[in-house]
């Protein structure tokens, strides 16, 4: 096999390996669907609801004023982070337990 042919095959092979290596983790990480759960203690209050609905309920449960734009943004970002990473987020503690946003 000539040197040019070997270099061409090696280049195609390396490009394929890089493309597969980059594409696989990205497709595995796309788990978000815009839906989360809201739990109070061990009880699921809302299940598979959109982030906006979760923000409204969590604000009511925690006594957070949604007329303040920063509060809405913080709760929306927290719920989006939960949806993207599957980590739970405790917003506040009530008499019935922790008010958490969890991945659906």
**Residue 16: per-residue pLDDT:** 47
Interatomic CA distance for residues 56 and 78, integer angstroms: 13
Strand arrangement of the beta sheet that strand 35-40 belongs to: 43-50, 35-40, 97-103, 89-94
87-92: long-range pairs with CB below 8 Å, 24+? 91/58, 91/61, 91/62, 91/64, 92/61, 92/62, 92/63, 92/64
Mean pLDDT for each 10-residue chunk of the chain (104 residues)?
50 45 46 88 96 96 94 96 94 95 94
Residue spans of the domains in the chain: they are: 1-30, 35-103
- What confidence score (pLDDT) does residue 70 get? 95
pTM of the predicted structure, to 2 decimals = 0.68
């Amino acid at each position: 096999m000539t040197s040019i042919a070997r270099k061409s095959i090696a280049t195609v092979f390396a490009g394929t390996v890089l493309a597969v290596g980059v594409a696989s983790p990205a497709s595995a990480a796309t788990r978000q669907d815009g839906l989360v759960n809201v739990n109070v203690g061990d009880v699921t209050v809302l299940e598979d609801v959109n982030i906006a609905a979760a923000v409204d309920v969590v604000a009511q449960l925690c006594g957070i004023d949604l007329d303040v734009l920063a509060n809405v943004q913080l709760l929306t970002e927290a719920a989006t982070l939960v949806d993207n990473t599957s980590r739970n987020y405790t917003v506040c503690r009530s008499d019935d337990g922790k008010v958490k946003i969890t991945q659906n």
